[in-house]
Structure 1
Amino acid sequence: MQLRPITSPQGRRLARQVGIGLLAIFGALMGAAVAPAAQAQVGPLTVDVKVRPSLSPGATVDLPPVGSVQFPTHWAPVQVRASIRSVDVDAARAVIDQPAQLEKLTASAPDTVKKAAAQSLAVSLLFAFAGAALLTGLATRSWHGVGLGLAVVAVATLLLGGLTAVSFDSAQLAEPKFTGLLSSAPYVQRRTTSLAERLESYRSGLADFVQSVTTLYAVGQQLPRPDTGLNGDVTTVLHISDLHLNPIGFDLADRLVTQFGVELVVDSGDLSTWGSTAEEGFVNRIGALKVPYVFVRGNHDSQAIADAVARQRNAIVLDGAVTSIIGLRIAGVADPRDLPAEGAKDDLGKAEVQASVERLAAVVDGYDNEHPDEPVQIAVVHDPTRLDALRGKVPLILSGHMHARDVTYTSGTRTMVEGSTGGAGLTADGLRRLSEGNPVPLEATLLYFAKSGPEAGRLLAYDEITVGGLGLTSVSIDRVLVPKDEVNPAPTPTPTTSPSTTSATP
């Protein structure tokens, strides 16, 4: 058979038809891309559902702020995406208070989302055909060209539909891939042979996700205001600790900074695990927080890690020094040990820890003597086991190291030991707990200080944030109001935004 050259009439006709077909496909893709989402009411959640051609096939459920869940249900280039648009807080409270409503929601949610997906598919197809008709009509200015373009899109649609149907595996609904906060712990799947039981596992997981998100919004609305009587004039500080190379800890910090208007982050150490130069890149996430970041080195952090932190434009590294920032005066000292290995070695070097705390206490004394009307308000150390020299000298001590939250009040000083914001990250304890199905929760604390007036600089309240549970699907926020009869620091001057640092050596 002899092939006709492209310059022949038949060749030009074929090239024109191919061009019209490609133009129609492009128009269809553009039309589908701008098609509006279908809305579904899943209990207290208003959900947008979209069905689109995509190079990332499967089904995705966005669950802000805890992340997203991806189900590899098929390999055809079509994506079904559901994302939360809004939350009815009153309805969310009702779901929390009445388990029967949650059970009802669990039973109806899959069918509701399925119906919305069908509606979105219909709208996407309508926009796809409209886009194809528009582009081919403008290019050919003939009904024949439009018809050819629509025929090409129809064939492509049938092909995509067939591939999706052939490749669809409903069992994959029980094998999701987590991103965001949800990705730091394994999904616990029931080991069953029945497809119905596997889908029931998915339904139970969906209920957990819906409950967690609704709880977050409902609890957030119910929190008492920390600024009662101050007309909202507060400074919000985020305390984190022991990230141990877990990027999910920075994800959590980033969300809290954005959602709660955090003005300063204080990190009480163990940002890394081994302190190696290979870990220095991890600290680049600090700059993305876009607020001042005060850091003291932990026993897992090397000097190289501290230097890498110091290179971040928004970071302040304290080691026997005092910094004044956003109206707060903060003293800090590095953990003097270099003990990246865990186990019995963690009990070594306590004499060195005590000496470093005593050195910081001397720095605080020297600063307070030079600034009697502007004393140090916060001391930051990593290891909280040797704090006697600081108690009574500062109203607040922030620390970490123990991977468990603890708050005490002694001798006029409130000591707040933070848990592991990285869920113990890449450490022996963290990995062991993860393998046992009992992951270390991600913990952080929001601190609210009076910004002005006679109580300026006083800690008014704090929120204890905990993200935990199997799959890290539970989110809790517990608020504590600080009694006014605790040590009340001297009035502070008008807050400044530019930090300054003073050091002293005993």
Structure 2
Amino acid sequence: MFSRGWLATARRRLDPGLRVVSQRVAPATRHRHVRRAGRLLGVLVVAAVGMILGVLVAGRVSADVGPFHAQFAITPSVNGGTDVAIPPLGSLHLDSHSGPAHLSVQLTSLDQQRTKALVTNPVALDQASGGVVEDLRTGMTRLVFQVAGVSVLGAMLLAALLYRSMRRVATAGGLSLALLAGTALVSLSTFRPSAIEEPRYEGLLVNAPAVVGDARRIAGRYEQYRAELQRLVGNVGKLYDTMSTLPVYEPDNSTIRVLHISDMHLNPAAWSVVRTVAQQFNINVIIDTGDITDWGSEPEDSYVASIAALKVPYVYIRGNHDSPRTQAAVARQPNARVLDGGTVTIDGLTIAGIGDPEFTPDKSSPNNAPGANNGAQLKINSGQLLANSILEMQRAPDVALVHDPAAAPPLAGRVPLTLSGHTHKREVRRLANPDGTAPDAARTLLMVQGSTGGAGLRGLEGKDPTPLALSVLYFDTKKHELQAYDDISVGGTGQTEVTLQRHIVKEDKGAGTAPSASPSPVPSPSPSR
């Protein structure tokens, strides 16, 4: 038998060797795991690059949609979304989903023979329109399967070229399928059906009403969307056949269309934009919330003479750049209605308004002198004066007008909608009720318009010209409630691009809250413009 001393001696001799072996085996194991992870990451990158290349090369299909030849395409993207291009009318951009896949649908051309057959045969037109949604579904299905196929094929081909290993090629194919599943999951989980209600239009201004559609007919549900799509196909087909330049969209005669403009600032180019929008959108009344001039001087009186050429009722309130002389010059126009504490009713829509209490055409004016702090109180007092006048009416007006949004708080709870300008920046928000109720429970919606004149010469001071801003508001004729509005922006001086964003006005859940008669808080002073 071995003695205990001998065993202890042997252990002391063996321990250093075992430690050496252990120290050599552990790093080797770690290095092996790191190399495997690195190889897997490399295959993942190769698979992703191969998928992108495959989609860019062959990620599109062609299909017939009604009388159109259309092209469907999916491209890699950070923000997702959907574009619908209708040459030469323009394009619609929908915030339909998030994720790494962007969907594009382009109506490339019309089949001339099919279009003539549709126009001459009403039955054929109805049949073709009824199959539009099915055509779209078929095109999208083909696109999805083709993109999936070319993605996996692209990943495997690139892996084969780089690795020449069947195992890694198979791994790249499996990883591409996992990436496809992840992309589909993100797109479906972030899909927003309501995006069809608020498209952004880019193209020629004259085509905007036809492409975006009438506010009261905009799709809120699938069947409504289907009807609009059918109408668009039918109308565009007819107009292409007759060599017209834009599709005629039959307007809903029961909708009251109001064009809101503000802060023209003597820009002569603005009148042509206003006139075009008034004609193309079948405007019933134009509302101008002030600053039509820069200095309110006599030579500027000739600028307001363009109001008469619009041949549409023109409701105006004075801005801080407009003098009493300017207000009188506007009042002389045959289609103008000047408000300064009163109301006017046009096509059933009752409008109240008050002019700006200050005349400050430049910052050296007394009301803007350093240390003068009565400007904000003047604004709030003018808003309170209008609110008091409204309280004495048997029926509250549908719209109230102030030039500076600083005058709007006293109107909270008095009217459903208040329009203003002055800041040269668009803003839409709910006014807090005088009792301090949170804005999301308030009834009055405040809409601040940008500068329809592109801020005049001031618009050229920055790096980029200030765009011309104006909005079309849609009211229903029964309750005179705002249903939707289109924000239109025309590129500043020297630019011609046009964008149109459709907004649907959601029902205000706090509309039933009884307003309080307590005074509104005094806001902080607003900058002079």
What is residue 458 of structure 1 aligned with on the other side? 481
| Alpha-carbon distance between aligned partners in 2 of 1:467 and 1:295, rounded to the nearest angstrom | 22
Q: 1:321 to 1:221 in 2, by over 3 A?
A: same
- 2:450 equivalent among 419, 429, 452: 419
- 1:283 equivalent among 304, 309, 312: 304
What is residue 320 of structure 2 aligned with on the other side? 299
Question: Residue 221 in 1 paired to residue 211 in 2?
Answer: yes
**Native 8 Å contact 1:300 1:338 kept in 2:** yes
| Alpha-carbon distance between aligned partners in 1 of 2:421 and 2:281, rounded to the nearest angstrom | 22
Question: How do 1:164-313 and structure 2 match up within 5 A?
Answer: 213=203, 217=207, 220-223=210-213, 225-227=215-217, 232-313=253-334
**Native 8 Å contact 2:443 2:511 kept in 1:** no
What is residue 338 of structure 2 aligned with on the other side? 317
Of stretches 440-449 and 402-411 in structure 1, the one that deviates more from structure 2 is 402-411
Q: Secondary structure at the match of 1:226?
A: helix
> What whole-Å deviation, never above 9, does each CA across 1:326-383 have from its counterpart, x for those lacking one?
111111001011100048966962211111111000111111xxx2xx4211100000
| Alpha-carbon distance between aligned partners in 2 of 1:396 and 1:218, rounded to the nearest angstrom | 25
**Native 8 Å contact 1:268 1:400 kept in 2:** yes
Question: Residue 474 in 1 paired to residue 483 in 2?
Answer: no
> What whole-Å deviation, never above 9, does each CA across 1:122-166 have from its counterpart, x for those lacking one?
xxxxxxxxxxxxxxxxxxxxxxxxxxxxxxxxxxxxxxxxxxxxx
Q: Secondary structure at the match of 1:476?
A: strand
Q: Secondary structure at the match of 2:216?
A: coil
**Deviation of the 1:94 alpha carbon:** 8.8
Of stretches 213-222 and 442-451 in structure 1, the one that deviates more from structure 2 is 213-222
- 1:431 equivalent among 456, 460, 471: 460
Q: Which amino acid aligns with 1:423?
A: G
**Deviation of the 1:236 alpha carbon:** 0.2
**Native 8 Å contact 2:260 2:288 kept in 1:** yes
Q: 1:392 to 1:96 in 2, by over 3 A?
A: closer
What is residue 356 of structure 1 aligned with on the other side? 382
What residue ranges of structure 1 are gaps of 5+ in the alignment?
Answer: 1-43, 45-87, 103-210, 490-506
| Alpha-carbon distance between aligned partners in 2 of 1:95 and 1:352, rounded to the nearest angstrom | 46
| Alpha-carbon distance between aligned partners in 2 of 1:224 and 1:315, rounded to the nearest angstrom | 27
> What whole-Å deviation, never above 9, does each CA across 1:401-444 have from its counterpart, x for those lacking one?
00111111232111000000000013xx32312xx3x1111000
**Deviation of the 1:234 alpha carbon:** 0.4
Q: Secondary structure at the match of 1:412?
A: coil
What is residue 193 of structure 1 aligned with on the other side? none
Question: How do 1:360-379 and structure 2 match up within 5 A?
Answer: 360-367=386-393, 371=394, 374-379=395-400
**Deviation of the 1:259 alpha carbon:** 0.4
Question: How do 1:10-49 and structure 2 match up within 5 A?
Answer: none
| Alpha-carbon distance between aligned partners in 2 of 1:218 and 1:89, rounded to the nearest angstrom | 13
What is residue 506 of structure 2 aligned with on the other side? 483
**Native 8 Å contact 2:89 2:211 kept in 1:** no
What residue ranges of structure 2 are gaps of 5+ in the alignment?
Answer: 1-67, 69-83, 94-101, 107-200, 219-223, 225-250, 432-441, 513-529
Q: 1:343 to 1:478 in 2, by over 3 A?
A: farther
> What whole-Å deviation, never above 9, does each CA across 1:463-490 have from its counterpart, x for those lacking one?
000012673222011011111345779x
What is residue 447 of structure 1 aligned with on the other side? 473
Q: Secondary structure at the match of 2:407?
A: coil
What is residue 131 of structure 2 aligned with on the other side? none
| Alpha-carbon distance between aligned partners in 1 of 2:471 and 2:303, rounded to the nearest angstrom | 22
**Deviation of the 1:307 alpha carbon:** 0.2
Q: Which amino acid aligns with 2:211?
A: Q
Of stretches 345-354 and 254-263 in structure 1, the one that deviates more from structure 2 is 345-354
| Alpha-carbon distance between aligned partners in 2 of 1:215 and 1:264, rounded to the nearest angstrom | 19
Of stretches 385-394 and 268-277 in structure 1, the one that deviates more from structure 2 is 385-394
Q: 1:101 to 1:290 in 2, by over 3 A?
A: same
**Native 8 Å contact 1:89 1:221 kept in 2:** no
Q: Secondary structure at the match of 1:444?
A: strand
**Native 8 Å contact 2:382 2:407 kept in 1:** no
**Native 8 Å contact 1:216 1:476 kept in 2:** no
Q: 1:335 to 1:405 in 2, by over 3 A?
A: same
**Deviation of the 1:226 alpha carbon:** 2.6
> What whole-Å deviation, never above 9, does each CA across 1:271-322 have from its counterpart, x for those lacking one?
0001111101100000001011000000000000000000001101111111
| Alpha-carbon distance between aligned partners in 1 of 2:264 and 2:368, rounded to the nearest angstrom | 17
Point out which structure has higher relative CO (alpha carbons under 8 A, 6+ apart).
Answer: 1
**Native 8 Å contact 1:227 1:233 kept in 2:** no
Question: How do 1:71-220 and structure 2 match up within 5 A?
Answer: 90-92=86-88, 213=203, 217=207, 220=210
**Native 8 Å contact 1:90 1:218 kept in 2:** no
Q: 1:471 to 1:414 in 2, by over 3 A?
A: same
Q: Which amino acid aligns with 2:461?
A: R
CA RMSD of aligned residues (A): 3.5
Q: Which amino acid aligns with 1:471?
A: G
Q: 1:100 to 1:320 in 2, by over 3 A?
A: closer
Q: 1:222 to 1:231 in 2, by over 3 A?
A: closer
**Identity within the alignment, %:** 39
**Native 8 Å contact 2:257 2:473 kept in 1:** yes
Q: Which amino acid aligns with 1:243?
A: M
The structure with more radius of gyration: 2
| Alpha-carbon distance between aligned partners in 2 of 1:95 and 1:375, rounded to the nearest angstrom | 40
| Alpha-carbon distance between aligned partners in 2 of 1:100 and 1:451, rounded to the nearest angstrom | 37
**Native 8 Å contact 1:413 1:487 kept in 2:** no
| Alpha-carbon distance between aligned partners in 2 of 1:227 and 1:96, rounded to the nearest angstrom | 17
| Alpha-carbon distance between aligned partners in 2 of 1:469 and 1:300, rounded to the nearest angstrom | 21
| Alpha-carbon distance between aligned partners in 2 of 1:217 and 1:414, rounded to the nearest angstrom | 29
Q: 1:470 to 1:294 in 2, by over 3 A?
A: closer
**Deviation of the 1:388 alpha carbon:** 1.6
| Alpha-carbon distance between aligned partners in 2 of 1:482 and 1:96, rounded to the nearest angstrom | 20
TM-score normalised to structure 1 length: 0.51
**Deviation of the 1:220 alpha carbon:** 4.8
Q: Secondary structure at the match of 2:334?
A: coil
| Alpha-carbon distance between aligned partners in 1 of 2:305 and 2:361, rounded to the nearest angstrom | 21
**Deviation of the 1:101 alpha carbon:** 12
